[in-house]
Structure 1
Amino acid sequence: MDDDETLTAYHEAGHAVVGFALGGEIESVGLYAEADDWLPERFGDCHVNWGRVDAHSDWQVQREVLTILAGPVAEMIYRGEKLHPATFGPWQHDWAWAWRRGERLMRDPRRRTQLLESVVVLLHHHLSDDLCWAAIAAVSDELLAHEYLDAEQLAETLSFWIRS
């Protein structure tokens, strides 16, 4: 199995590619993130700026849930293993975050679980596409080479693969 740094790079690249494709500005992606007000200490971090949006609109919640779950799915594809984000330790925080945001879309816990699981399946299909996977690999390679990418570096890499 690959080292934690490589797995983290693919994970964070998944967040970045999907966030960018859905219209977010990726402010930064990095390996080795310290704890802050929002998140515990973790291997990596991806900051998405959605601009001036209504954080409670269904469309915004959908974009966030897709972006949140894209990290575990990209890592899942890289690993070649279909693991459940709710039960696989390194991804439980992503699942919990998507679960909280997804409550706005689906209040019933059983149906919300089904919704998030269907999002994982949808993301797996789309992220496995050759062009999308090439974008994830490109960001991952850059992240492994530099450990931190700012908005300008990310926009340059992502705009080659994804037309906004």
Structure 2
Amino acid sequence: MNDDETLTAYHEAGHVVVGYLLGATIDEVRLGCMIEDSLPTQFGDCMINWGPVDSHCDWQRQREILTVLAGPVAEMIYQGERPHPAHFGPWQSDWAQAAERAATSFRDLEKRTRFLEATIMVLHEKMSDERFWAAIAAVSDELLAHESLEHEDIAHAVSFWLR
């Protein structure tokens, strides 16, 4: 089933699992939008809390880039396709966010693009691992069943598969 809601659930689950594993607290993830006046094309929202961090720290930027790109990668794996996020409408905002965060480290657009594409390849390999994918599928299933999850729900689902 490739309906929009299922794709959105996998997309958000990608953000959630990678962010959680990189140390974030996921305040809430939901299908639908938390901001009432948002664009009608926004089917899901994920509120990630990194806690007190230095936004200029390379490691923090890397965590954010990995987490942002994990949504499109989860959809790529689920669908068995690899459209480029910069050119695929639903993922362009994820690509733009990741590119903005990478701009500090890679001022040259070509180098930045190569870095982000390499990051997608690494994420694809890691997230395709059987246990990692099971955690994403579990979060997606819970999200489809309940439409909204908080940190405790996510911690339970992820820790079952990735201890």
Give the TM interval when normalised to the shorter protein: over 0.9
Equivalent position SS for 2:64: helix
CA distance in structure 2 between the aligned counterparts of 1:96 and 1:35, rounded to whole angstroms: 20
1:66 to partner: Cα distance: 0.2
In the other structure, the counterpart of 1:160 is 160
TM-score normalised to the size of structure 2? 0.94
CA distance in structure 2 between the aligned counterparts of 1:17 and 1:118, rounded to whole angstroms: 20
Given that 1:31 and 1:43 are in contact with CA atoms closer than 8 Å, whether structure 2 keeps it comes out as yes
Deviations 1:92-147 (Å, cap 9, x if unpaired)? 00000101111122111110000000001010000000010000000000000001
CA distance in structure 2 between the aligned counterparts of 1:19 and 1:55, rounded to whole angstroms: 16
In the other structure, the counterpart of 2:25 is 25
Structure 1 consecutive aligned stretches of length 4 or more whose deviation exceeds 6 Å: none
Deviations 1:16-49 (Å, cap 9, x if unpaired)? 0000111111111111115479x75511011111
Given that 1:34 and 1:40 are in contact with CA atoms closer than 8 Å, whether structure 2 keeps it comes out as no
In the other structure, the counterpart of 1:101 is 101
CA distance in structure 1 between the aligned counterparts of 2:13 and 2:65, rounded to whole angstroms: 16
Structure 2 gaps of 5+ residues are none
The percentage of counterpart residues that share the same residue type is: 60
CA distance in structure 2 between the aligned counterparts of 1:96 and 1:44, rounded to whole angstroms: 17
In the other structure, the counterpart of 2:130 is 130
Equivalent position SS for 1:85: coil
Given that 1:28 and 1:154 are in contact with CA atoms closer than 8 Å, whether structure 2 keeps it comes out as no
CA RMSD in angstroms comes to: 1.6
In the other structure, the counterpart of 2:88 is 88
CA distance in structure 1 between the aligned counterparts of 2:33 and 2:20, rounded to whole angstroms: 20
In the other structure, the counterpart of 1:110 is 110
CA distance in structure 1 between the aligned counterparts of 2:28 and 2:133, rounded to whole angstroms: 20
